[in-house]
Structure 1
């Protein structure tokens, strides 16, 4: 797993791209592309620091890191786009839909019902989008 072996020859950006690819496929490249015309350096920072420095550390596996991230973004109550990305990432690293729902319900205790409701709404969107892309299409 990514956290178990940091490669000494890798740059922060390379390490970050590798970590992000483990979590969410091409998401890192999509972030870079989306910000290329307005803030390319910012896109680089978004990959280097969180994924190249933090997600790559030993001590927590990717599943635990995504649980913490989903909880934090839910508690913020104002980061729905980022929360949706991390709900997807959580599903990709083995967090179940029921666990994601429970994480958000837990946040109602500490962040309030509005934040939990916003989180559950984001989860419903992600789950629905995944279902729409996995169900067979009928003519």
Structure 2
């Protein structure tokens, strides 16, 4: 049985990521279900921030961490889907340098460049 949280989360996921979101979470089984319900049904569906603002925060957090480039790429695409430009995403990445260092920013910028080339 599909829960109300899952339905709400699925709609929000599609709004943020389009078809790509479903393709990312579907193979994850129960973990994917939890992502849809919690991250998108509960968190992304809250009032207070636009989807654009939420993706700015998400990209900044992921850009400041090592080893999460696959998830960063998903959210770079999502950011573009909700209205961020390549230039804005690059600025978000540059903003992480004083707090997270050059290595993570370099990795994030490389992820952005890979997305732009696609």
Unaligned runs of 5+ in 2: none
- What TM-score, normalized by structure 2, do the two folds share? 0.94
Q: CA RMSD in A?
A: 1.1
Which whole-Å CA distance do the structure 2 matches of 1:14 and 1:28 have between them?
A: 14
Q: Which has the larger radius of gyration?
A: 1
Q: Count residues in correspondence.
A: 116
Q: CA deviation at 1:33?
A: 3.0
Could you tell me which residue of structure 1 aligns to residue 40 of structure 2? 51
Question: Is the 2:63–2:96 contact (alpha carbons within 8 Å) kept by the matching residues of 1?
Answer: yes
SS in 2 for 1:77: coil
Could you tell me which residue of structure 1 aligns to residue 99 of structure 2? 110
Post-superposition Cα deviations, 1:62-91, rounded to whole Å, max 9, x if no partner, equal: 000000000000011220000000000000
More helix per residue: 2
Question: Is the 1:70–1:87 contact (alpha carbons within 8 Å) kept by the matching residues of 2?
Answer: yes
Q: CA deviation at 1:25?
A: 1.0
SS in 2 for 1:76: coil
What is the aligned counterpart of 2:27 among 16, 26, 34? 34
Q: CA deviation at 1:43?
A: 1.1
Q: CA deviation at 1:27?
A: 2.6
Question: Is the 1:62–1:93 contact (alpha carbons within 8 Å) kept by the matching residues of 2?
Answer: yes
Question: Is the 1:20–1:27 contact (alpha carbons within 8 Å) kept by the matching residues of 2?
Answer: no
What is the aligned counterpart of 1:65 among 48, 54, 73? 54
Could you tell me which residue of structure 1 aligns to residue 11 of structure 2? 18
Could you tell me which residue of structure 2 aligns to residue 94 of structure 1? 83
